[in-house]
Chain A
């Protein structure tokens, strides 16, 4: 160990030694190799962690490119040489709705017939924060609202009793998309499944402009006669 540490203390002797430009003693080479390995590991970890933030051809970017800003967009059927996203399942009809909670809470409602369907909510960073399929949702209507943390707090204040009909989910990010998958078990059913996915209603509740007067019945004022 001391062999490795010693050369770093004595760079002066190394310079003063009139050695050739590239001659390095073994201890210094070992130290440089160790520094290289540690630096390479740091570069490796940092690169792996930042790749998702700099990806320009990830699923979000590709869907944001083709999807309408409002309402549902059916992804075109995957055909050889004409795929909007790589690795789509040709037996699935995909529908995507973009959401931006900065504009207000987002709601999705769909009548889902057919064989298998699921809906998942993806953030811009590629995280699926909620997903449900036909089996798990059997007891519920497919009626989901997405709110950010602030909208969720406000919602809880306004409606302290949970609504059994509407599922309200808190999103970790403001921007993302909802993805509907519906299985086409036999090719003849495809038009029906596509129509069902296209009938999905995605909407953003744009809140009304803030009012100065409190809404609701006026508070009883103390009688001046009393």
Chain B
């Protein structure tokens, strides 16, 4: 009957509409993203003209956005080959950073953006405590077990990890060139 069809149309469109919102918000959709290798940034987050997907995502997660005047946060949930970052694999983060007064790199569980407990109480590195190569580049090893060098402890049981590279006071956010941002590579190593 037509009334049944109307109900079916309304129900299906509600499921499709709300379901697609859920996927967009959980899946980090944003029209104003900057991509550099494995890394993505949303420099308009928090701005009054930011796109509604970015705003919806931040109000869902409860994160504090960094405004362009303060810096930019680059997020990676996959390695440079496009594979999801998982707790039971080791990752080598290698390369250089774009121009910024300061930077920090932090590892989170992707599910709830919580930190990963470890006996050394190390949750990330920053531009002052990283050990660099003579040429200014650096290597960071993300692994559940201790490693020599710049070891960033992860959790073997974590299904998905998130790396956040925060550049504080960077020309990128305030109209600098986007095309030639050089971000470190994330290479997958040994998996258990």
Chain A interface residues toward B at CB < 8 A: 11, 14-15, 21, 24, 32, 35-44, 46-49, 51-52, 55, 57-59, 61-62, 78-81, 83, 85-92, 94, 115-116, 118, 120, 122, 126-129, 131-136, 172, 179, 181, 183, 185-186
Contacts and interface: CB of A to CB of B under 8 A. Distances in A.
Interface in B113-154: 113-117, 123-124, 126-129
Contacts of B113: 83, 86-87
Contacts of A24: 5
B60 A85 contact: no
Given A11-B2, A49-B52, A128-B67, 9 more contacts: A47-B21, A51-B25, A51-B55, A59-B58, A86-B62, A87-B64, A118-B168, A133-B71, A183-B104
Given A87-B164, A116-B101, A186-B129, A136 B61 contact: no
Contacts of B4: 21
B17 A39 contact: yes
A96 B25 CA distance: 27
Interface residues of B, number: 58
Cβ-closest 6 pairs across A and B:
A43-B17, A39-B13, A86-B113, A40-B16, A55-B59, A80-B117
Contacts of B168: 116, 118, 133, 181, 183
DSSP class of B's interface residues: helix, strand, loop or mixed? mixed
B128 A40 contact: no
Nearest to B102: A116
Contact of A128 (B46, B102, B115): B46
Contacts of B101: 116, 135
A185 B20 CA distance: 42
B63 A59 contact: yes
A128 to B, nearest CB: 4
Contact of A36 (B13, B18, B53, B59): B13
B14 interface: yes
Contacts of A85: 62-64
Contacts of A87: 61, 63-64, 108, 113, 164
B21 A44 contact: yes
Contacts of A89: 104, 106, 124, 164, 166
Interface string B73-111: 000000000000000000000000000011010101000
Taking each of B5, B71, B166, B168, which has the highest tally of chain A beta carbons within 10 Å of its own beta carbon? Answer: B168
A6 B21 CA distance: 33
Given A40-B17, A126-B58, A131 B115 contact: no
